Structure 1
Amino acid sequence: MLENAPVYNDFEQLIIDNKSDRGILLATFKPSAIIRMEIVEDDREWSAEKLEKVKLRSKQNKLFEDNDKVFSVVSKLPYKFKYVFTDVTGRERTLTINDWEIGALFWKEEKRFGGDEAKALESVKHMYLTQHIKDRDVHFFCGHHPILGQHERAKSVHDHWCVHTAP
């Protein structure tokens, strides 16, 4: 599916194409170098507003007759994980990793370390900076957040996030 899609190495060009009539919604991006991972503490609970938005979206789906029985709240990840990297221009960029796998890894590591979040975070960071990228030709699958709307395009680098990393 993506074999004919361009692979971006200049993040500014990805933003330009996103703003253009091409309207790039999902793109493959190859960073020049991954510098570090940042972990930022986030809210520990879902806001009432966010829960209501998600619940309303679930009701739009006609697949199930009674969506209230299907809708359930998952634990909120109390951290945001971000890659800091450079593109082909040498400019340093930051993208939030918005991938379920990093959240699942955090929960697994927290359990393994008996609830010690600091040890779990260090383990996640270590894995993502070694096993996930060392000696690999890493690419990011990048998109922008759906709250921007179906037709509104991401306006800046801050509106983009990394969906997944692929070796």
Structure 2
Amino acid sequence: MAGISEQGSMRRLYPVPFRTIEEGQQFKKWQWIEVRIENTNKDQRPESHKVYVDTIRCGDVIDTKREWAARREWLDKIPSFQSFEALDEARLSNGLSIALLCPKTVLGLDIVKARHAEWTEEEKEKLTRAQMQGDLFSEADAKRQVKDLRKVPFDFYYRYLCETPEGEKECRHKIVDWEAGALYWNCRRDHGDEWEVPFRAKLEEQLGKKDLMFLMGNQHRFQDQWLIISLVYPPKRKPAEEQQGSLF
């Protein structure tokens, strides 16, 4: 889970076995929570913290009124970049591992069959270890959790343009936002083999009309490899808002 503190610092919280958290502690996207966290020796990225899920207390949800005004206040605090090159330079210079990337233009969505349609034994082992990170589950319980997880048999990538000092540059990054996976299963359930049409309509057409931003996160072991860990899509600014200055 990725979040932002009241001081405006980015946080990567783990493990968060969301489906097994007590009902009163299952928070929503854009909801404030209070929780005990601590640094961990296992992950040196500055934003990464171990979370004690039994201490979660849910607070207010930040609403979308007035064209996302309240949410934009917090988006303004997140490190943000106009190009992937600038974002990766920040990683090299200060260890940044979570930030917003604001593409100039989204060119399209690539849908590729996953290398393995089902979980491999190696993937199951990694998922099991991840479930056991917070000492919440025994190995047997963790394996049962993993067994219930459905694997999306496709990988999704956004192709987009960024503005750089040398001009426009095309980039491509994989989407691992859980909402994209949930959208796939919903489209598959409602449309069967024709799932791709409504799926593309959402991610290409509908979100393409928004002020689409990518929350980027890198990988622990391979920190030069970045993923789109969440999609942020406020409505486009009205001309009067644009005249007041850009958020980023």
**What TM-score results when the alignment is normalised by the length of structure 1?**
0.84
Asked if the contact 1:23–1:153 (Cα under 8 Å) also holds between the matched residues in 2, the reply is: no
Residue in 2 that maps onto 1:128? 203
Asked if the contact 2:100–2:216 (Cα under 8 Å) also holds between the matched residues in 1, the reply is: yes
2:97 is the alignment partner of 1:31: no
- The answer to which structure, 1 or 2, has the higher relative contact order (CA under 8 A, 6+ apart) is 1
Asked if the contact 1:19–1:153 (Cα under 8 Å) also holds between the matched residues in 2, the reply is: no
- SS of the residue corresponding to residue 136 of structure 2 reads coil
Rounded Cα–Cα distance in structure 2 between residues aligned with 1:145 and 1:55: 18
Matching of residues 1-167 of structure 1 within 5 Å:
1=8, 2-20=75-93, 22-42=94-114, 43-64=116-137, 66-70=138-142, 71-73=145-147, 74-89=149-164, 90-113=168-191, 115-116=192-193, 119-134=194-209, 136-146=210-220, 148=221, 153-154=223-224, 159-167=225-233
Q: How many residues align?
A: 153
Asked if the contact 1:9–1:32 (Cα under 8 Å) also holds between the matched residues in 2, the reply is: yes
Q: CA RMSD in A?
A: 1.6
Asked if the contact 2:175–2:229 (Cα under 8 Å) also holds between the matched residues in 1, the reply is: yes
Deviation at 1:104, TM superposition (A): 0.7
**Larger gyration radius, structure 1 or structure 2:** 2
**What TM-score results when the alignment is normalised by the length of structure 2?**
0.58
Choose between structure 1 and 2: higher strand proportion.
2
- SS of the residue corresponding to residue 100 of structure 2 reads strand
Q: Which moved more, 1:70-79 or 1:97-106?
A: 70-79
Asked if the contact 1:17–1:23 (Cα under 8 Å) also holds between the matched residues in 2, the reply is: yes
Q: Which amino acid aligns with 1:107?
A: W
Gaps of 5+ in 1: none
Regions of 4+ moved over 3 Å: none
